Amino acid sequence: MKNYDYRKIKNSVIRLVHLACVSKKNKFQSRTWECHILPVVEHSLRLGKLLKADLEVLELAAYLHDIASITNANYVKRHHTYGAQMAKKILRELNYPEDKIKKVTRCILTHRGSVKTRRDTLEAKILASADAMSHFSELVEMFYLAFKIHDYTTQEGVPWLKGKLERSWQKIIPAGRKLIKKDYKIAMYLLNQAIKNDL
């Protein structure tokens, strides 16, 4: 029998992350919640059920994976390391078991596509995949990120976005690619057309 109340812990994490998302300090704006965090949670749980992973670890890691970049713009480039530290502190304060905290923090530490790290657990592979899958399922938000948040011109933004999405595709495990293949094809078609028309 569990000696902790997972529902209570999860609800505390949800409240904390949601408040961080809607805070004026969040440079990615409040839309981060519904357009990135929730899709990553959904993709994580979908893959987790399919592959028989630890759903608690996945769910908490998915909610917390970008906590550092959401709360502090200075942490964006190393948000995986700061985020793992922050998640550990948050989950310890909520009395979540240490062995599970270790798994959650490992997922967060290894979730980025632009940072080469070894994903040595099923849950870490799933979170990295779910994060990348959201870039395709929420494609409009990726355009918003490129052209509104980063303020790129079309000439800067299209190649940047194509590179980001290509890296994202590479970090998705086969089961995830199967689920998101249609969205991937649409994204690549649109970006390739934009590049072609710009030449």
Tokens of 19: 């408040």
Burial of 182 (0-12, 13-18, 19+ CB in 10 A): exposed
Q: What is the model's pLDDT at position 180?
A: 96
- Structural domain boundaries enclosing 22: 6-198
Residues 6+ positions from 24 with CB-CB distance below 8 Å = none
100-130, pLDDT tens digit by residue? Answer: 999 999 999 998 766 667 788 999 999 999 9
Q: Is residue 116 part of a domain?
A: yes
**3-class DSSP assignment, residue 48:** helix
CATH of the domain at 163: 1.10.3210.10
Q: Is residue 63 part of a domain?
A: yes
Rounded mean pLDDT, 52-63: 98
Number of domains in the chain: 1
Q: Quick one: pLDDT band at residue 157, thresholds 50, 70, 90?
A: very high
Which residue type does 122 have?
A: L
8-54, pLDDT tens digit by residue? Answer: 999 999 999 999 999 998 988 888 999 999 999 999 999 999 999 99
Q: Is residue 1 part of a domain?
A: no
Rounded mean pLDDT, 3-7: 93
Q: Higher-confidence residue: 154 or 63? A: 63
Q: Is residue 114 part of a domain?
A: yes
Tokens of 132: 């990348």
Measured distance between the N- and C-terminal CA atoms of the chain, rounded to whole angstroms? 63
Note the pTM of the prediction, 2 decimals.
Answer: 0.91
Q: Is residue 172 part of a domain?
A: yes
- How far apart CA 121 and CA 53 sit, in angstroms, is 9
Q: Is residue 108 part of a domain?
A: yes
Q: Is the pLDDT of residue 92 over 60?
A: yes
